[in-house]
Amino acid sequence: MKPIVFLHLPKTAGQTIHHALGTICGEEKIAPFRLQSQVSGPTSFPRGYILHSGHLHWDGLEAMLPQPFSFSVIRDPKERFASFYFYMRKKIRDQVASGNPVRNHGIHAALTEPVECFFFNQDDDLSVRIRLAWANRTLTYFALRKLERRKEDQRLELDDLVTAALLNAEQLSAIYDFEDLSPLEADIEQLWGQRPDIVGQNTNRGPLTQGVSRWASLLDELGSDRLARGMESFVDEDEIFLGKLRAQGDGSDGRITGSGVATS
């Protein structure tokens, strides 16, 4: 079986995809790292596994032998961002309600507060940390090959980040759209000889009803046009990058970019 690397942006059907692929290849063939914090060696991609899947840094991807089929999934930036917020807020509030302490006392504790207190926190240091960890994560992941920016990354120019992100995107075998994952199913079937059950599944459902706009729900909770406009800065760079990615993409058969199995 050809190795597969799934670079998972939060709230892009990652759990569903992971479990569907794992069902085919078998648990013993799944690499142990799902989060970058779990990585214990020099690479996110240890040898001997068929499936590498998670919120992983992807420096060193080119050095993998044999070369894997590598892919990621993108989602409308506003919907992805708001979905992640509601998911994390419920997770932390449930944790607190059950009497368990929060791990990240700053960011996670702020999730127990009203939405405006999280995104527009009066604590300057906490506000910066939230923005570095949460804002424009799609561009960050493709430009820097990691999910969070450091303070020194704030000096990077937007044009340079977008250019790097587009170049990194070209290195992947394919990028798929969250709204239609049937091309991913078809590519996996061609690679592994079995079609994964992804479309229509939801392994890690968030707290909001399916079909409801997560972004509109987030703005409704703010209850202020001024604060709603301020939320745009959390996704504006992502929207610029994805607009260019879609415009420049050479994908086919429903992919955003990449020719999938044929040239991987």
Whether residue 66 has pLDDT greater than 60: yes
The confidence band for 159, taking pLDDT boundaries of 50, 70 and 90, is very high
Whether residue 261 has pLDDT greater than 90: no
User: Read out DSSP for the chain?
Assistant: ---EEEE--TTSSHHHHHHHHHHHH-GGGB-S-SBGGG--SS-SS-TT-SEEEEB---TTGGG-SSPPEEEEEE--HHHHHHHHHHHHHHHHHHHHHTTPPPSSTTHHHHTTS-HHHHHT-S-HHHHHHHHHHHTTHHHHHHHHSSSS--GGGGGS-HHHHHHHHHHHHHTSSEEEETTB-HHHHHHHHHHHSS----TT--TT--SSPTTS-HHHHHHHHH--HHHHHHHGGGTHHHHHHHHHHHHH----TT-SBS-GGGG-
Whether residue 256 has pLDDT greater than 50: yes
State mean pLDDT over 146-173: 94
Q: 201-214, pLDDT tens digit by residue?
A: 887 777 888 889 99
State mean pLDDT over 131-143: 96
Percent of the chain residues topping a pLDDT of 70: 98
State mean pLDDT over 182-190: 95
Output 221 or 254, whichever has higher pLDDT.
221
CATH number, domain of 121, equals: 3.40.50
Range of the domain at 70: 4-263
pTM: 0.93
User: So what's the pLDDT on residue 263?
Assistant: 42
User: So what's the pLDDT on residue 215?
Assistant: 96
As a whole number, the mean pLDDT across the chain is 92
Whether residue 239 has pLDDT greater than 80: yes
The confidence band for 259, taking pLDDT boundaries of 50, 70 and 90, is low
Total domains present in the chain: 1
User: So what's the pLDDT on residue 264?
Assistant: 40
